[in-house]
Structure 1
Amino acid sequence: METAGKVIKCRAAVTWEANQPFSIEEVEVAPPQSQEIRVKIISTGICRSDEHALTGNMKDVTFPVILGHEGVGIVESVGEDVQDFKPGDKVIPLFIGQCDQCPSCKNPRSNFCLLNMGRTPGVMADGTTRFTCKGKQIHQFTNTSTFSEYTVLHQNNAAKIDDETPLGNVCLIGCSFTTGYGSVVNTAEVKPGSTCAVFGLGGVGLAVVIGCKLAGASRIIGIDVKKDKFERAKELGATECIAPQDCDKSIVELLLEKTGGGVDYTFECIGNIETMTSAIYSSNFAYGTTVLIGISGLSKTITFDPMMLLTGRTLKGSVFGGVKSKDFVPKLVSDYNAKKFDLDKLVSHNLTLEKINEGFELMRAGESIRTILTF
């Protein structure tokens, strides 16, 4: 391409300081260096994790920064020593990379790449960033920074997807859908005929509902204080929905009563300490499995009676569904192209990049499921 090897000027949503609105700026994006690719982002989702970073509720975020990590795009150019990508390839950026060389990548039980985690936050592997604005260095976020028309990724932080994939809502596979769906089929390994309870019916929670249905769960109970989410949850597979504020019993008591002793699998998709505890106590005392998915933020702790686990319960955590990113994401995209699940029903709003602040306000008010930004 004509831009290969050159600095590209483009639009991006820059966060200059914590707790400040996004500012749409013209930024300069340097060419990719060794083992890097430069990608034109087509669409990107707004995720609660971006909000945690924006408010200083996440470690290792250095301002000024370009946030965003749930995107899809097209490779514009590649640096030296890149073998698996070429200009024109469609890719999904990966905030959890996969090098296939470190002990964690080689272990089938883990999806955290030690090489990826060992990098200095906010910069590329060589210790510098590829973004500048108004003469200042702009830091990168989770090795992705998708709130920019162009971004630069290490080749371990991108998954090549099918050429025929429509670029739009498929960006959800870059975070929320894979996080929820993977927690069902990979982390919990939900069995056919089982009962499931999903705490929180946002984008991740609804992906959990889809996963439970495809896994063959016979009963899927959705729980949320926002009752306007219930119709969509039922369309996607929830068999019933509960608004805790309308109950004369605690949600734990109600679920134990409804299931005759506890749910087979419970999923906490909010990041709230109280609902995490409720999810644990709602699971069957002898064989229930609870998966914590929501991010609680810094300095939060959870307390429960250890006997809750000694009787046979299992408590698990799941980041990005516990899946190995470069292996799983292309397969998931192929399933999407084969119409095995519908991502469109997980999207409530579509906005341009210039309206990013509006998108975040919708999320904070609980009025959106997932907002997609397009460039």
Structure 2
Amino acid sequence: MPRAALLTAPGRPLEVVDLDLTAPRAGEVRVRIAACGICHSDLHVQQSGLPNLLFPCVLGHEASGVVEEIGPDVDHLAVGDHVILTVIPQCGKCAFCLRGQRTLCTNTSVLYSGVALDGTARFSHAGRGVGQMAGLGAYSEEVVVPAISAVRIDVEMPLLPAALIGCGVVSGFGAVTHVAALTAGQTIAVIGTGGLGLSAVQAARIAGAGRIIAIDLKAGKLELARSVGATDVIDASAGDPAKQVEDLLGGDGVDVTCDFVVNHATVGQALAMTRPGGVTVITGFGDRTVELPVTPFIRAGRTLKGNYMGMADFGRDFPKLVRWYQEGTLQLDAMIGQTFSLDDVNAALAAAHDGEAARAVLVLDEKQRAGG
């Protein structure tokens, strides 16, 4: 009977309770959660809910842990494996997966309702089914998830930083690597230097970008961006960011702009700072509707692209990101601002909402604080 942080309805604080958890069924595994990052999509669901999401529910989707039990028909995982959980259980069989667009896998629509792939709940409380955000619900000591939602990683990888890879890191990395396809020597601007933006800055550094311009309103985040690879930083409160980029580059725009804020102001700024023929990538829960003129696309040949979870193949990309961390190329420890226990989950959400730190993280296995 795991302890978990239960959201009874949108807009309410989370309550730490004991939940009933079924044994894994065919194609499923039970995972003991080590750590779970607090993502802005968690805040969005906590505040506003999601259409068709089963309530009450358990939030949390940026998580790592250890396999405790395997159900029938699971042959790629074993008890004791260290894993990163995936928001999307990529089936590898649907049309999207076969086209290489695995984050668009048709499994997504089922799990976003908070139930398992068979349409039933794995958590319950007081005899009532409990939803799992993104089919994971990782603000819990244990979860039962599809086996294809768990990617095995090197057992030597610390599970605390590994958790960040599951959403923020892979999304920021993929925005640069998969969506924009940034190449060595190109210039890039990154709007918003939270977990996704810092990951994009590092992906650009690893790709050999010529200039990496980080843009934010918070001085602390800009300094952190500089420490992980930004060549230039811009305080968005000091004037039009697009004009500041133009001044930095002697009148030119950047080859690529990645906007991780996505509101009416930032999307317009992102397009304005992208050179003719360049690429603008937008990611995240921002404004639902943004009005844009078509002329900057048509007459300047710009491209606007959406980015969902880095358009990643998790089975390929998670181990790669782990390896980069182990080699010292990818700096994840610097991105962990504050850690919280499960009992302090509401404080963790508040810290994430405040936005001073890159990532607030729930630590459900206290050994992880010491790198265990």
Calculate the TM-score normalised by the size of structure 1: 0.93
Deviations 1:94-131 (A, max 9, x none): 11221111111011245311134355711112221111
1:1-375 correspondence runs (5 A): 9-56=1-48, 58-118=50-110, 121-247=113-239, 250-259=240-249, 260-285=251-276, 287-296=277-286, 300-310=288-298, 311-375=300-364
Contact 2:35 2:65 in 1 (8 A): yes
Q: Which structure 2 segments of 5+ residues have no match?
A: 365-372
Deviations 1:261-282 (A, max 9, x none): 3111101112323211211121
Matches of 2:225 and 2:7, distance apart in 1: 34
1:57: how far off? 5.4
Aligned residues: 362
Query: In the alignment, what sits opposite 2:367?
Result: none
Contact 1:97 1:326 in 2 (8 A): no
Matches of 1:136 and 1:92, distance apart in 2: 28
Stretches of 4+ aligned residues off by more than 6 angstroms: none
Distance 1:61-1:277 versus aligned 2 partners, 3 A rule: farther
Matches of 1:280 and 1:47, distance apart in 2: 26
Distance 1:115-1:109 versus aligned 2 partners, 3 A rule: closer
Matches of 2:31 and 2:21, distance apart in 1: 10
Deviations 1:235-272 (A, max 9, x none): 1111121112223xx22222233322311110111232
Matches of 1:22 and 1:57, distance apart in 2: 13
Q: Any idea what SS the aligned residue of 1:84 has? A: coil
Distance 1:119-1:295 versus aligned 2 partners, 3 A rule: closer
Give the superposed CA RMSD: 1.5
Q: Any idea what SS the aligned residue of 2:233 has? A: strand
Matches of 2:303 and 2:269, distance apart in 1: 14
Task: Specify the code of the residue in structure 2 equivalent to 1:16.
Answer: T
Task: Specify the code of the residue in structure 1 equivalent to 2:159.
Answer: L
1:182: how far off? 1.4
Query: In the alignment, what sits opposite 2:368?
Result: none
Q: Any idea what SS the aligned residue of 2:159 has? A: coil
Distance 1:184-1:53 versus aligned 2 partners, 3 A rule: same
Matches of 2:36 and 2:304, distance apart in 1: 32
Matches of 2:161 and 2:140, distance apart in 1: 17
Matches of 2:143 and 2:262, distance apart in 1: 29
Using the aligned pairs only, state the percent identity: 34
Matches of 1:56 and 1:120, distance apart in 2: 14
Task: Specify the code of the residue in structure 2 equivalent to 1:53.
Answer: V
Deviations 1:309-342 (A, max 9, x none): 1121111111111111222212222222232211
Matches of 1:341 and 1:330, distance apart in 2: 12
Deviations 1:66-101 (A, max 9, x none): 010000001110111111111111111111221111
Q: Which structure 1 segments of 5+ residues have no match?
A: 1-8
1:17: how far off? 0.8
Contact 1:120 1:127 in 2 (8 A): no
